Each structure stands twice: as C-alpha cells, then as structure tokens.
Amino acid sequence: MKDEQQKDLQSEETKESREKVQKDFQGFLGSARKFLWELLNIRNDTDQEATKAAIIADIPFKGHTIWILICSIFIASVGLNANSTAVVIGAMLISPLMGPILGIGMSIAINDIDTLRRSLKNFVVMVVISILTAYLFFTFFPLRDESSELLARTAPDIRDVLIAFFGGFALVIARAKRGTVATVIFGVAIATALMPPLCTVGFGLAIGNMEYALGAIYLFTINTIFIALATVIVLKFLRFPMVRYVNSKKRMIFARIASLVAVLVMIPAIITFYNVFEQSRFMVQAQDLVNTTIGAYKFQGQGRFLDNLTQINYSRKGTSNIEIVCMGNEEIPSNVIETWIAKKNTYSRLKNTEMKIVQGGRDDSEEKFNYITELYESKKVEIQNKDERIRLLENEIAKLSKLTTRQVPFQQISAEAKANYENLESLGFAYTLVTDFNKMDTIPIFEVVWKKGAKKREVRKDSEKLQEWLKLRINDKKAQVKQRQS
C-alpha cells in the first residue's frame, strides 16, 4: 500500500515536471515568435497615404522630369561609350525611370485603373524618349566602340532576374516606410540598372545591330516586369486598401481588368525566369565541361587551347553547340576526345549539345594560316569589335604569316646550287637578327663553303652570281652570302 502511494506520488511529480517543461517551451516559442514578428514586421511603420502620394507624384513625365531624363540618358551614353562605370552610376542616380514602373505595380495592387492608365502612358513616353536620345547620341557621336559596359547589357541571365526582383522589393519597402530611406532608393536605382539597357538599345539601332538592341530591350523588360511584380506583392502584403468606386458594377469591371493585367504580368515573368534559368544552367554546365576537359588537358608538345576562340552557344529551340579551338603541332588523341564527349553526356543540360574540337595539330603552317584566315572571315561580323578576340586573331595571323612567307625550300635550293656550281662543297642557311641600333631586321644568310684548291677569281665570281641567284630564288633582296674555303 505504501509502495503504491509512493509510485502515485512520483507519477504526479513527473507529470507536473513535464507540464512545466512544456509550458516553459511554449513560453520560449511565444517569446521567439514575438521577437521575430517585431523584428521583421513592416506593417506598423508603413505610411500608406504618403506612399501612394509619393508614387503617384513620380509617375508623370513632362517639363523638368523629361529634361532630367534626357540629360541622364546623355550622361549614361557617354559613360557606356567611354567604358566608365563611375559615370554610368552617376547617370543612374539622377534618372527618374522608376516612377511609372512603381505606378504600374501599385495600380494593379490596389485596383486603380486610372493610375494604371497614366502609368502605362508615361512608361511608353519614358522608353521612347530614352531610346531616341541614345540613338541620336550614338548616331552623331564619332566614337562608337563596343565597350564592355555596353556588351554587358546585351545578354541577361538569371542574376539579372534576381537583382530586379529583390531590388524591387527593397525599393517598395523603402518607399512604404515612414520617412523614406533615400539611400535604399539610390542603391536600387544603381543595382537594377534600368537606364544602361535603354542606352544599349539606342546603340544597337544606331550601328544597325538588332541582336544588341533585342538583347538590351529583353534585359530592360526583365527589370520592368520583376520590379512591378515585387511592388504588387509588397503592397498586397502591406494590405493597401483597394480603390472603391461608386458604381459597384464599374468597380467589378476594373477589379477584373486589374487582375487580368496582374496575371499578364505574372505569365511573362514566370516564362522569362524559367528561360533565363535554363540558359544559365546550360552555360554553367558547359563552362564546367570545358574547364574539366580541355582546360585540364596537358599538351606534351607545342599545342595550346585558345580559350578566347572557344564558342558556347545556347539555343532554346534548336541544337546548342560547344566549339573548342586548339592550335599547335600536337593532335589530341581520338580516344581522349571520345572520353570528353562521354563526359558531356553525363551533364543533364548537355546531352543533346553538339561538341566540336577544332585542332591545328594535323596541319602544316600554311594550312594553319588558311584556317585562321577562314575563321576570321566567318566570324568577322560576330566579333568585329570584340577587342580581345580581334587582337588574338591578328597576333596569330601575323605569326603564322611570317612562318608561311619565310619558309625556304632549302633542299631544292641546295640541289640546284650543287648542279650549277661545281666548286661548291657545302651550303648552310639561317635567319639572323641584325640591328643598326635604330631598327631591327631579320636577314636570310646563306653560308657557302668552296672546295679547297678552287681559284680565288672563280670563287669570287661564283659568289656574286650565287648571291644574285639566291635573291631571285627566295624572292628576298636582303639575302646575303657568306663564304669560306674548306
């Protein structure tokens, strides 16, 4: 009986202990939840009326705003042309491009059809004026080099989508805060980079390169869609009140139109994100394949991998391809290439990709020169102003050209010389560097050894004739003959 009472007492103590631990844990969770809510909550410090007024005030493009836009476009165009990142950043800081985009996002979020109409109209005005200004600048400005700052705006990837989306989040949250955080607005203006793509569109139209123009307008579209989408999400989360209309039927129609526009914005946003994500995955896997195959391959002879000429081309509908270019006197074994192709098929995004290895090891110098020339001609439109590739090609052509033009058929020349000059005992040949300390030149030198006992007068006469003949034979007036008797 006493044992049973002790057991009951221990059971009650254990139960009380468990309940206490459970209450303490629930209290800890509650405190942690409250702390996180207070830490992350943005609704309490939101000024809805001031936010709406500020966004609506930035929508119109007329008067002072238009001239600020034109000036900032000119500054950005100069910065892109001069490849100056600092100038481009300065232009983005004074640009008023964000206004209509935020207006589009807000009007969709709160069902304000009038603001949506005004935002779209001003957005079109903004884009047209920006592109026209950049087009006029690059048309009449004499220097139109394709700088890296310009080319960086012609091929968007997944990072641009993420920058636009989270930049839009930061911008709207900063706008909604009591006492707007100006530094955030400036930072988003720089990060999302709305202006440089529009300048690049004008540049592409000015030089007649539609690929550049379409790539840049695609990047601008990505930025616009995802900034507007972020605006809609944030304002919905902050529970901005919907615009109410006296006529309930009219309100329903406008609500449906706003919802339709929101869906239309979401669809291209999802498609764009997916396409850019797929392209980025392909490019990452392709570059990894190149780095782990030819990039890690150890040439035993004079072969080398030309990274700047290697092409990785992604095609969403057609066949993507990877073209690896190697030059030199060494041929990569076929079994190694088959191993690389097998490795390619292990990548999920590269299975249907064509992999081509262009080698120079099978060819002599003249054929290498012809290949480089053909490659340059076939790619000239694509790489006409890509400075690094052009410099590389020109250097390769210059080197191979010298090798080709200076090849002397020494075996034939020596046989002909032996047949024509009976006193000739041996003939040597080499190129020699000569300088007068003002300039340097390469001279073809033939060393002639005459038979012992040959008459000096005949040797001198034959040497003169031999020198003149060798100049004609190798088509080089600088050729010289040095003689000695055995």
The mean-pLDDT minimum among 82-91, 142-151, 360-369, 374-383 falls in 360-369
In a domain, 163, yes or no: yes
How buried is residue 319: exposed, middle or buried, by Cβ count under 10 Å (0-12/13-18/19+)? exposed
In a domain, 434, yes or no: yes
Q: Given this model, what pLDDT does residue 4 score? A: 60
Span 316-344, average pLDDT: 82
Task: Say what angle helices 64-81 and 113-140 make with each other, to 10 degrees.
Answer: 40
Span 74-80, average pLDDT: 83
- Could you tell me which residue, 308 or 377, shows the higher pLDDT? 308
In a domain, 214, yes or no: yes
- CA–CA separation, 335 and 350 (whole Å): 20
Is the per-residue pLDDT at 113 higher than 50? yes
The mean-pLDDT minimum among 7-21, 228-242, 302-316 falls in 7-21
In a domain, 254, yes or no: no
pLDDT classification of 132: cutoffs 50, 70, 90? very high
pLDDT classification of 3: cutoffs 50, 70, 90? low
Give the rounded percent of residues in the chain with a pLDDT score beyond 90. Answer: 0
Q: Given this model, what pLDDT does residue 299 score? A: 78
- Other C-beta atoms closer than 10 Å to the C-beta of 109 total 22
Q: Given this model, what pLDDT does residue 363 score? A: 44
Same domain, 289 and 336: yes
Same domain, 102 and 193: yes
Same domain, 184 and 73: yes
Is the per-residue pLDDT at 85 higher than 60? yes
- CA–CA separation, 430 and 55 (whole Å): 79
Same domain, 127 and 181: yes
pLDDT classification of 200: cutoffs 50, 70, 90? confident
Tell me the residue range of the domain where 466 lies: 410-485
pLDDT classification of 467: cutoffs 50, 70, 90? confident
Q: Given this model, what pLDDT does residue 221 score? A: 82
Same domain, 206 and 168: yes
**Average pLDDT of the chain, as a whole number:** 75
pLDDT classification of 305: cutoffs 50, 70, 90? confident
Is the per-residue pLDDT at 182 higher than 60? no
Q: What is the pTM of this model?
A: 0.54
Same domain, 118 and 198: yes
- CA–CA separation, 439 and 445 (whole Å): 18
The mean-pLDDT minimum among 47-51, 75-79, 139-143, 367-371 falls in 367-371
pLDDT tens digits, 17-34 = 666 666 666 666 767 776
Is the per-residue pLDDT at 381 higher than 70? no
What domain count does the chain have? 4
- CA–CA separation, 108 and 244 (whole Å): 14
Q: Domain boundary at 388, 405, 422, which?
A: 405
Is the per-residue pLDDT at 442 higher than 60? yes
pLDDT tens digits, 388-431 = 666 666 666 666 555 545 567 777 888 888 878 888 888 887 77
pLDDT classification of 364: cutoffs 50, 70, 90? very low
Same domain, 338 and 204: no
Q: Given this model, what pLDDT does residue 374 score? A: 60
Same domain, 286 and 206: no
For residue 357, which amino acid is it?
I
- Could you tell me which residue, 385 or 85, shows the higher pLDDT? 85
Same domain, 199 and 340: no
Give the rounded percent of residues in the chain with a pLDDT score beyond 70. Answer: 69
pLDDT classification of 290: cutoffs 50, 70, 90? confident
Same domain, 373 and 420: no
Same domain, 400 and 319: yes
pLDDT tens digits, 271-286 = 777 777 788 888 888 8
The mean-pLDDT minimum among 187-191, 257-261, 326-330, 458-462 falls in 187-191
Same domain, 84 and 216: yes
pLDDT tens digits, 248-257 = 666 667 667 6
